[in-house]
A = this chain, B = another copy of it.
Amino acid sequence: MTPDHDHLVKIVRDSMHDVFSTMLNNIELKQVDAYVDGGAPPTGDGILAFVGLAGSWAGTGSVACSAAFACKMSSQFLMTEYQSVDEDVLDAVAEVTNMIIGNVKTRLEEDLGPMGLSIPTVIWGRNFTSRTVGSYEWSVVPFMAGKERIEVQIFLAPRKDNAKPKPGAAVHDTVSI
């Protein structure tokens, strides 16, 4: 079964609920309307963490939030007060992202077969541009925690070429775009 937008949204919401209720106990999340985004590259401001998914389907899952919310989340997660973004906060956001997208992956595997998860990377800055190659349609699933917005984005595409290329050739692993 191809994971359509509505299915992905449900899986992301369930995963967020699981992670926030077990690991980030006191942060209440409100669901906001999800949508599909296939447009221009967003300009980031704040924290963006993502982790790759790879198998017969491949893609990326990301979590974006403000620096303030990242500190709040990290304070809950690590049970220490964080007022500003440091390495601990970046690591905590990466770990939370790993859990959320890992949870999504496990649910997706029921339909798509085994997938691997890469190591999460966190970007922190102002006015940076993030872009994923190709014209993918991302499922954007926002949540509100008080006045703070946290967004989970995910897309998946079936891999075009599952044949194993020969070492020594200029390999071009591609997905259907």
**Which residues of A line the B interface, CB within 8 A?**
18-19, 22-23, 40-41, 44, 50-55, 58-60, 87, 90-91, 94-95, 98-99, 102-103, 105-107, 109-110, 114-134, 136, 155, 157, 164-175
Q: Which residue of B lies closest to A23 (CB)?
A: B170
Chain B residues with CB under 8 A of A169: 18, 103
- Assuming the contacts A125-B128, A128-B125, asked whether A133 and B91 have C-beta atoms less than 8 A apart, the reply is yes
Most B C-beta atoms less than 10 A away, residue of A19, A116, A121: A116
- Assuming the contacts A120-B133, A121-B50, asked whether A99 and B172 have C-beta atoms less than 8 A apart, the reply is yes
A60 touches B118 (CB 8 A): yes
Q: State the Cβ distance, A128 to closest chain B Cβ, in Å.
A: 3
**Roughly how many angstroms separate A102 CA and B174 CA in the complex, as a whole number?**
9
Chain B residues with CB under 8 A of A175: 119
Most B C-beta atoms less than 10 A away, residue of A50, A132, A134: A132
Q: State the Cβ distance, A139 to closest chain B Cβ, in Å.
A: 14
Interface of A is mostly: mixed
Q: Which residue of B lies closest to A104 (CB)?
A: B171
B173 touches A98 (CB 8 A): yes
B52 touches A118 (CB 8 A): yes
B52 touches A119 (CB 8 A): yes
Chain B residues with CB under 8 A of A55: 54, 116
